[in-house]
Structure 1
Amino acid sequence: MYTFTKEERLCNKRLIDELFHNGSSFLCYPFKASRLLMTEPQQVPAQIVFSVSKKRYKRAVDRNQIKRHMREAYRLSKQQQLYDQLNNADKRIILSVGYIGKEIAPYELIEKKC
């Protein structure tokens, strides 16, 4: 239940390209999220990719810390906020969450916004 398995990570380059070209996006500062409903069956209700700009955060330590916090917040809240609704509607979705904040936000803010 509170896991984040390989099947839930979006790694397929074709799907990522399709998400960014055909998906819809919205802004919830400090995040920019893109989503696309899938017609083909998937193993899990949602697949997700997290990204942090290398241009804004030069040090890999900072990028990895932000991504770690985003993954943890998603892992803890995905079941009640996302999976239950997707399973009830029998839908599948792919997501992208990019961090666009100018400063490294504390974990509490990231958890609240996710």
Structure 2
Amino acid sequence: MRFTFPKSERLNSKKLIEELFNEGSYFYLYPFRVSYLFKEDLTDYPQVMFSVSKKKFKSAVKRNRIKRLMKEAYRLNKNTIAGKPVLVAFVYTSDEMPEFKFIQKRVEKALKKLTEL
């Protein structure tokens, strides 16, 4: 499997994002709130979005850094949920700047939990 994160795997449709947060389920796995919605009429791959609170991180540079870390951790571990038609949103809830190793372990754990659902 290729470790890429193409635009087709990014969740950017306002309609789908609204549906995910209104009808989907979620679980907390520090430092994330992971929202998900299994949707059969989607394509064969998951669509993912990443979010960091502007309230907790005023600086756009810090928010973008955290999102880059989350995207990279997902990109390296996405094969655990490959082939599942699911919408996923990773919302960073902590107010501390993370290390990549910590983010990677948590994203990996969250993806394993999603496969068990």
When normalised by structure 2's length, the TM-score is 0.87
* Structure-2 separation of matches of 1:29 and 1:110: 10
* Higher RCO by CA contacts (8 Å cutoff, separation 6 or greater): 1
Aligned partner of 2:49 in structure 1 is 49
Secondary structure of 2:96 counterpart: coil
Runs of 4+ in 1 over 4 A off after TM superposition: none
Q: Which stretches in structure 1 are left out of the alignment for 5+ residues?
A: none
The Cα shift of 1:40 comes to 1.0
* 2:33 maps to amino acid: K
Aligned residues between the structures: 106
**Per-residue displacement from partner, 1:1-41 (whole Å, max 9, x unpaired)?**
10000000001000000000000000000010000011213
- Partner Cα distance (1:57, 1:41) in 2: 33
Alignment deviations for residues 38-79 of structure 1 (CA, whole Å, 9 cap, x no partner): 12132x410000000001100000000000000000000101
Aligned-residue RMSD, C-alpha: 0.9
Query: 1-side partners of 2:47 and 2:21: how far apart?
Result: 14
- Identity of aligned pairs, percent? 44
Candidates 99, 103, 106, aligned match of 2:99: 106
**Residue segments in structure 2 that go unaligned for 5+ positions in a row:** 108-117
Q: Which residue of 2 aligns with 1:20?
A: 21
Code of the aligned partner of 2:97: I
